[in-house]
């Protein structure tokens, strides 16, 4: 170490030969912040070793169907922060939120009005809306990809052999007026996976693992930027304490109770049922 230069300066200098200027910028910022954190917290050798052990276990918990690092990023709010920095929708456009780890299989193509609850037993529900351009006007032919947990709070991919593949999922095409609608059951709040290192982190910090009840959407249409979002069930538990910090007030939708046998017959659901109406508004690309 030369003169009064710190190890931080030396590491930053060592990055000067990076061929990719963005890589240099990212690593320089990361090193400066990591070093500042270690100085500020007066990180002990033991704490550093424990952190390395935690990160090692996080990597070892990853499989083809489980991404513990994404879960870590989610519970630390980093996924939501990156998502928000990169998706600044204009006024009126539907806000985005995290993709989450359960969009790992392709949703089956379904006709408008199909029931994505292949098992039944949950509280019957209709979800309907339109896909619109923020410029105004409907977007016929827009594609609406939907996935949700069942009434017990599990995704099909978490219960192979218990739930049929494709349960709670559907890929819909909006009609000539940009309308979409489907039948389902009212989703429940559910815990994110807690049997790995991230679960240990939540327990150590006295945090619960629950997400408020929600339905996931990816809406896309020609000439428009796709939006990845959720609608949250108004009144659900955990709206104020989502384990992954993904709630935005404008994404909370009223799943209105309906007691109307003739409407139920028209929709093909049992009476009474719940009806959520929610438009998906896309920015021009
Ligand atoms: C989800 O909503 O599916 C989800 C998002 C982040 C972490 C775990 C689950
Ligand atoms: Fe989810």
87 and 246 in contact (C-beta within 8 Å)? no
| Rg (alpha carbons) of the chain, rounded to whole number | 23
- Sorted by sequence, the CB contacts under 8 Å of residue 256 that are 6+ apart come out as 274, 275, 276, 277
Q: Which atom of ligand 1 is nearest to the CA of 71?
A: 7
Domains of the chain: 7-75 (no CATH), 90-282 (2.60.130.10)
- The answer on pLDDT for 1 being more than 90 is no
Buried b / exposed e along 84-122 (16+ C-beta atoms within 10 A): beebebeeebbbbbbbbbbbeeebeebeeebbbbbeeeb
State which of 66, 98, 209, 213 you would mutate to test the pocket of ligand 1, scoring each by most atoms of that ligand within 8 A of its C-beta: 98
- The pLDDT value given to residue 247: 97
Better-predicted residue by pLDDT, 269 or 160: 269
Q: Which atom of ligand 1 is nearest to the CA of 70?
A: 7
Q: Which atom of ligand 1 is nearest to the CA of 244?
A: 6
Q: Is this structure's pTM higher than 0.75?
A: yes
Q: What are phi and psi of 81, to 5 degrees?
A: -65, -45
CA distance 97 to 104: 17
- The pLDDT value given to residue 112: 98
Express the helix, strand and coil content of the chain in percent, nearest 5 each: 30, 25, 45
- The pLDDT value given to residue 80: 93
Tens digits of residue pLDDT in 51-106: 999 999 999 999 877 889 999 999 999 999 998 888 877 889 999 999 988 887 78
Q: How confident is the model at residue 152 (pLDDT cuts 50, 70, 90)?
A: confident
């Amino acid at each position: 170490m030369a003169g009064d230069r710190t190890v931080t300066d030396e590491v930053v200098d060592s990055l000067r030969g990076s061929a990719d200027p963005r890589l240099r910028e990212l690593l320089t910022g990361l090193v400066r912040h990591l070093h500042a954190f270690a100085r500020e917290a007066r990180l002990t050798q033991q704490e550093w070793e424990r952190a390395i052990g935690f990160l090692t276990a996080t990597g070892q918990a990853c499989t083809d169907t489980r991404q513990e690092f994404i879960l870590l990023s989610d519970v630390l709010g980093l996924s939501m922060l990156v998502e928000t920095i990169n998706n600044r929708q204009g006024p009126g456009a539907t806000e985005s939120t995290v993709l989450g780890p359960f969009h790992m299989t392709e949703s089956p193509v379904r006709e408008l009005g199909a029931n994505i609850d292949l098992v039944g037993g949950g509280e019957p529900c209709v979800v309907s809306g339109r896909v619109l351009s923020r410029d105004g006007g409907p977007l016929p032919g827009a594609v609406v990809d939907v996935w949700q947990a069942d009434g017990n709070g599990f995704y099909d991919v978490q219960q192979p052999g218990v739930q049929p593949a494709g349960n709670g999922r559907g890929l819909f095409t909006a009609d000539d007026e940009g309308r979409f609608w489907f039948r389902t059951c009212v989703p429940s709040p559910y815990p994110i996976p807690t049997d790995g290192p991230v679960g240990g982190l939540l327990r150590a910090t006295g945090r619960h693992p629950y997400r408020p009840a929600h339905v996931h959407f990816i809406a896309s249409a020609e000439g428009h930027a796709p939006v990845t979002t959720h609608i949250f069930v108004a009144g659900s538990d955990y709206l104020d304490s989502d384990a992954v910090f993904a709630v935005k007030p404008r994404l909370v939708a009223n799943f209105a109770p309906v007691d109307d046998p003739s409407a139920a017959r028209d929709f093909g659901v049992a009476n009474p049922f719940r009806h959520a109406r929610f438009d998906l508004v896309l920015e021009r690309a």
